[in-house]
Amino acid sequence: MRGISIGEVLWDVIGPCEHLGGAPFNFAVHLHNLGHNVDFVSAVGKDARGRRVLGRMAHLGLPSHYVGQILAYPTGTASVVLDRTRQPRFVIHHPAAYDFPHLPQAELAELCSPTPELIYFGTLFQMSFQARQLTFELLTNCPQARRFYDVNLRTDSFEPALVEELMSQATIAKMNDQEVATISSMFGTPVASLEVFCRDYSHRFGWEAICVTCGAQGCALLVGDTFVVSPGYDVAVVDTIGAGDAFAAAFAHGLVSGWTPDKIADFANRVGALVASRAGATPEWTLDEAAALEHR
C-alpha cells in the first residue's frame, strides 16, 4: 500500500527525556514498519530539534521530502506528565512549525499521482487554518483514497464543528472510549452501547469501518455490517504514548489487507500492547513479538 499521513510532528518532553512523537508521525513510522510506502506531510523548525526529526526519519527510512523547514517557528513540543496508571497528560505548545505547513502545487500533484490508497489525518493539526487548508486540498485532490480519521481529542485542541467536519470527510474512523463519550455529549447522542454508537455514526457519516479502543480491555470494531469485540493483552505498561497510534497503523494494515474484522482487531490489540510495554511513541518491535503475546 502507498499511504499519506499528514499532521504534527513534535517532541514529547517527559522530565529530562525527549521522545519523538505526534500521532500522525507515529502512525507513519509504524505503518512504514509494517512494510508500506508512507509519505509524511508536516513541518519542522530550522533548529536543533528540527534537524533531529529529519535525522531520525532518515535513520528509519521514512521519506522527509514533504516535511518543510520553517525559520519563523520552532519545532513542535508537548510537555507530558504520566499519571499513576502511566496514562499521559499533554500540554501542547503553540505556535509550532507544523501549524504552518506548505506544499508547492508541483509537490501536491506529485503526492497525488498515483492516488494513494489511504490518507491519515487527525484533529490537532486542523486547529491551524493553514494546516487544515492543506489537508482539505490533499483530500480534494485524492478523491479515491480511503480517508482515515484518528480523532485524538487533546485538551483545548478541538472544536465540535471541526470534529463534525472531519468525521464527514472520513471513510474510516478510530477513537477511544473516552472520545466516544465526548462526541456523544457534543452531538447529543446518548451512548446505549459501543455497538449502537458504531452503527449509528457509521450510518450517519458513511464510514466503511470504525474502531473504538478501550485501553487494556481491548477494542470494539465495526467493518461493514460486522461488529466484533476483541480482548486486550496484559503487559507491563511503561507508558501508553504512541500505543494508540501503533494500534491505528495495525488497524489500517489489516483493513487494506482484507483481513476479517476479528483478525484485524486482535492484531491491532497486540501491536498497541507491545508499544505500551516500551518507552516512547515509536520503539522498535517485531511481528514475532506481537504474535508471541498471550492472554492471561
What DSSP letter does each residue of the chain carry, written as one string?
Answer: -EEEEES--EEEEETTEEEEE-HHHHHHHHHHHTT-EEEEEEEEESSHHHHHHHHHHHHHT---TTEEEESSSPPEEEEEEE-TTS-EEEEE-SS-GGGS----HHHHHHHTSSPPSEEEE-SGGGGSHHHHHHHHHHHHH-TTSEEEEE----TTS--HHHHHHHHHH-SEEEEEHHHHHHHHHHTT---S-HHHHHHHHHHHHT-SEEEEE-GGG-EEEEETTEEEEE-------S--TTHHHHHHHHHHHHHHTT--HHHHHHHHHHHHHHHHTSSSSS----HHHHHH----
Q: Which amino acid is at 48?
A: A
At 287, the pLDDT band (50, 70, 90 cuts) reads very high
What average pLDDT does this structure show over 255-274? 97
High-pLDDT (> 90) share of the chain, %: 85
Please say whether the beta carbons of 235 and 276 come within 8 A: yes
* 280 pLDDT more than 90: no
Q: Greater confidence, 115 or 85? A: 115
pLDDT tens readout for residues 165-197? 999 999 999 999 999 999 999 999 998 999 999
What average pLDDT does this structure show over 259-268? 98
pLDDT tens readout for residues 148-170? 999 999 888 899 999 999 999 99
Instruction: Note the Cα 110 to chain centre separation in Å.
Output: 23
pLDDT tens readout for residues 39-86? 999 999 999 999 999 999 999 999 999 999 999 999 999 988 877 776
What average pLDDT does this structure show over 127-153? 97
CA-closest candidate to residue 39, choices 3, 84, 82, 1: 3
Q: Which of 25-29, 212-216, 240-244 is least confident?
A: 240-244
Say if residue 132 is exposed, middle or buried (CB neighbours under 10 Å; 0-12, 13-18, 19+): middle
Q: Which of 68-77, 83-92, 99-108, 283-292 is least confident?
A: 83-92
* 132 pLDDT more than 80: yes
C-alpha grid cell for residue 133?
487548508
Whole-number pLDDT of residue 89: 78
CA-closest candidate to residue 28, choices 36, 38, 42: 38
Going along the chain from its start, the domains and CATH numbers come out as 2-292 (3.40.1190.20)
Whole-number pLDDT of residue 296: 66
Q: Which of 49-63, 83-97, 111-125, 235-249 is least confident?
A: 83-97
* 22 pLDDT more than 90: yes
* 90 pLDDT more than 90: no
Please say whether the beta carbons of 67 and 55 come within 8 A: no
Q: How far lies 219's CA from each of 31, 102, 262, 286, in Å?
A: 19, 36, 10, 21
CA-closest candidate to residue 247, choices 225, 217, 227, 226: 217
**Would the pTM of this model clear 0.75, i.e. be above it?**
yes
